[in-house]
A and B are shown apart, each in its own frame.
Chain A
Amino acid sequence: MKKIFLSAAVFILLTGCAKIQSKDEYYNSTEQVESEKSVLMSVNCSEILKNMDSLDSGLEKYIPEYGLIVEDKAYPIKDGETVYDLLIRVTKENRIQTESKGIFGNREIEGINYIYNSSCGKGSHWIYKVNGEIQQPVCSDYKLKDGDIVQWIYVCNDKESD
């Protein structure tokens, strides 16, 4: 009896914390932000085009022309919006798949548009630059300011950051 109560409590705790949405709900839940502040954002995987031999099989279809998954565009931002929030909002609008990991609101990006970390050879992964500088991987910590330039770049050879 004790076990049943315990498992029921754990189940309620787990499902209570989780936000379950259907596919349409998820993609239509984008909020229209109107603000004077705006940032430039792009998602770029053009380095893969130079290293096509080491790409995992089956992924060739998902590399867009010139490697631009999200083209450079200005997006209005809310106060206190982070890089992670912006990426999720933009990819939701464009119906692009993303996967992130992390606990307690610290999110790290694992894959965008089915291209994952180490999908293109050893050590290949997603990084992001704000105003040209590489930032730490936890992207839900960086709060955006007006006029920032965010670049998501897929790096194939991990020589610079090592």
Chain B
Amino acid sequence: MNFSERHPATQFIFFSASICSVILNRNPFFLCISLVIALVYRIFQLRSIRILKEIFNYILLTGFLTVLIPLVSHNGKTALFFINDNAVTKEAILLGFSTGLEFSAVICWFSCMSRVMSGEKIIYLISGIAPRLAVFISGIMKFVPLCRKQYLNIYRTQKNIYSGYKSLRKKIYIVIRSFSALITWIIESSADSADSMYARGYGLYGRSSFSIYRFRRFDVIILAVIVYLLPFTATSVLYRTAGIVFYPETVIPLSAANILISILWTIIMLIPVVTEICEEYKWKLLRSKI
């Protein structure tokens, strides 16, 4: 069973926990491991050449921050050279590098999450507590790409109507016109969908809905491990033993508990990738027999 077919609560807690662990732990080694795992998972999700473009973007982001942060922050013991009487230091470069890794890892985990958690799953998760919020969120998630598509449609039509005009004023006029049409369309279609939701009795007391999600034993195990680990991580972050001190000298505190927590987080983050590989292997095995 793939990770994307598991219970939404498990998926949600897994992704939020892995994103939290990336944000809280600024150790470059841990961030590297996390980013690599997220990228491998992303490869399994996309299965196309688009992954190369994403990897290139992450490299660009990391490189940009590695260059930018030394130019802004000049703290640090080992100065490499000086720009306008301010030092460019090794520590600042390291800070920039790990910040870039952190940003890339968070973006990568979020893009994995958005692929797995569809609007339907979010409605399923929140509708019990706050039905209106659930509709709102899933509406946004569906609406943004839809709006973009509709805007392009309207814009092309308008451009064809006013195809003879080439001046800048006319171009701005076309954009404004199509934007106004888009807003009208947004209001109309959201009123439509709200009406249809109302007609079906969404959010009324006592109304139940069917869902295909089942809470299995494996979900219980994952949730238990994550819930067991969270206090450890929280305390280590509170007492500043987990992270890394960059200024004025870069010090990575290496304690047994810290390493253990990092290894456990790594194992948790590996769950979807491992299940994905297992499923692939099983599929190939069964297929060759037929």
Q: In whole angstroms, what is the CA distance A62 to B247 when docked? A: 11
Q: In whole angstroms, what is the CA distance A26 to B84 when docked? A: 10
Question: Is there an interface contact between A23 and B77, defined as CB atoms closer than 8 Å?
Answer: no
User: With A100-B86, A114-B247 in contact, do A22 and B81 touch (Cβ < 8 Å)?
Assistant: yes
Q: A21 to chain B: closest CB distance in Å?
A: 5
Q: In whole angstroms, what is the CA distance A34 to B77 when docked? A: 32
Q: In whole angstroms, what is the CA distance A88 to B276 when docked? A: 59
Number of A residues whose C-beta is below 8 Å from B? 19
Residues of B within 8 A of A59 (CB): 248
User: With A111-B75, A114-B77, A116-B75 in contact, do A58 and B248 touch (Cβ < 8 Å)?
Assistant: yes
A sample of 15 more A-B contacts (CB under 8 A), given A19-B85, A99-B87, is A19-B82, A21-B81, A21-B82, A22-B82, A23-B79, A23-B82, A26-B81, A26-B85, A57-B245, A62-B248, A88-B85, A97-B77, A97-B248, A114-B77, A114-B248
Report which of A20, A111, A114 forms a contact with B81, defined as CB distance below 8 A: A20
Q: In whole angstroms, what is the CA distance A23 to B76 when docked? A: 13
Q: CB of B267 within 8 A of chain A?
A: no
Q: CB of A33 within 8 A of chain B?
A: no
Q: In whole angstroms, what is the CA distance A114 to B248 when docked? A: 6
Number of B residues whose C-beta is below 8 Å from A? 18
Q: CB of A18 within 8 A of chain B?
A: yes
Which 9 pairs across A and B sit closest by C-beta, in order of nearness?
A114-B248, A26-B82, A99-B74, A21-B82, A58-B245, A18-B83, A22-B81, A23-B79, A19-B84
Mask, B13-26, CB within 8 Å of A = 1, is: 00000000000000
Interface centre among B80, B249, B251 (most CB of A within 10 A): B249
Q: In whole angstroms, what is the CA distance A82 to B179 when docked? A: 56
Q: In chain A between 1 and 53, which residues have their CB closer than 8 angstroms to a CB of chain B?
A: 18-23, 25-26
Question: Is there an interface contact between B87 and A97, defined as CB atoms closer than 8 Å?
Answer: yes
Q: In whole angstroms, what is the CA distance A19 to B85 when docked? A: 8
Residues of A within 8 A of B80 (CB): 23
